[in-house]
A = this chain, B = another copy of it.
Amino acid sequence: MKKTMKPGPATKPTTSAPLEPKRRPTINDVARLANVSKKTVSRVINQSPFVNKDTRERIDAVIKELGYAPDPVARGLASRRSYLIGLIYDNPNPQHVIDTQQGILDIIRGSGLELVVHPCNRRDKDFLAGVRGFIDRQKLAGVILPSSVSEDEELVALLREADTPYVRIASVLLDSEENSIVTHDREGARQAAEHLAGLGHKVIAHVSGPDTFRSSHERRAGFVEGLKSAGLALDKKLDLRGGYTFQSGIEAGRRLMATVSRPTAVFCGNDEMAAGVCQAIRETGLDIGKDVSVVGFDDSPLASRMWPALTTVLLPIRASGRMASVRLLGDRLTKEPLEEDDQGEVHPRLVVRASSGPAPKG
């Protein structure tokens, strides 16, 4: 409301008047008013135990009075570690990214840390160079690797070399526990299989994600486990590979619909592909949830907005983001994390909707 945005010459007070341009208080101001050295103030803001109680209280009072907050940039410079958390991802699924961001922010909000996002493309040849630039330009306080990149060992090696703390979110334990959040995708897939078997389906197809993702294997494995516990097996001809994309789902769906022994149910590695399969089913004039049941994975917004709404496996992504942050930051956090955010693992849950129904008779 005061002046222009342009970086031009600031309107300097012509007189050397006492009114200064509303500078933020610094550690020096606090030190002066509390009549201590700035080092002692530094101790207080860093919660050092070697400060006399009275002194601490006096300083705290001044801090509050001044509304002082330490400058993260200066702190970063002096301590060689910024107050930034990096989120590296390579994800076609926006909801997934947003949920992860949200989970991280749930935890770091109020602690003076900020979230810096760094999307990347693992197929780019200079992908690693990009990440390297990112992490050692900003000396990140830590990096969170959601499932889309957490399996990349080169990337992780890079972080280790750069001495940057990290947490990997993955379907299985890939690393030490303190560096990991495990999402147990397998369990969710098993539930899906049991659900379909319980509805009486015998001929059940699977459309998996790309082989390069661990999660594809986990989901298939869980699915097979679930079938097995119901006395069923996965027919190789009904085990198709997709690419986690809508288009690949359409293609897989068309192939399945053209099979001689057409399946009465299809379990897909994610919701995108499930939507594609649904489209293929529609093209043949069959009824989803009646003639053919479909189950997805992720519980993306799409799942609940489709018609019929998609039965799917909900993965608590936001919670995994929270956990990853707690793992990463631990004691640096101001407020004590909730116990539920300190588990280190997350469990999927089946959400039954209209796209899955009893197996058709005959």
Contacts and interface: CB of A to CB of B under 8 A. Distances in A.
A275 interface: yes
Given A77-B73, A77-B74, A138 B117 contact: no
Contacts of A301: 94, 246, 302
Chain A interface: which size bin? 35 or more
Interface stretch (A97-105, A187-195, A209-217): A97-105
A1 interface: yes
A12 to B, nearest CB: 14
Contacts of A101: 117, 119
A160 interface: yes
A55 interface: no
Interface in A218-245: none
What's the number of copies of this chain in the assembled complex? 2
Contacts of A130: 109
A305 B307 CA distance: 11
Binding site of A, secondary structure by majority: helix, strand, loop or mixed?
helix
A206 B94 CA distance: 28
Interface in A1-33: 1-3, 5, 7, 24
Nearest to A250: B305
A286 interface: no
A198 interface: no
Contacts of A147: none
Interface string A296-311: 0000011011110000
A305 B161 contact: no
Contact of A24 (B1, B136, B282, B306): B136
* Among A97, A105, A114, A302, residue most surrounded by chain B Cβ atoms (within 10 Å): A114
In order of increasing CB-CB distance, the 10 nearest A-B pairs are: A94-B94, A94-B98, A73-B76, A275-B305, A94-B95, A114-B116, A73-B77, A77-B77, A74-B77, A1-B157
21 contacts: A1-B161, A3-B160, A5-B160, A5-B178, A7-B165, A69-B133, A71-B137, A72-B138, A73-B82, A73-B138, A84-B116, A94-B97, A97-B98, A98-B98, A105-B119, A115-B116, A246-B304, A275-B305, A276-B305, A279-B305, A302-B302
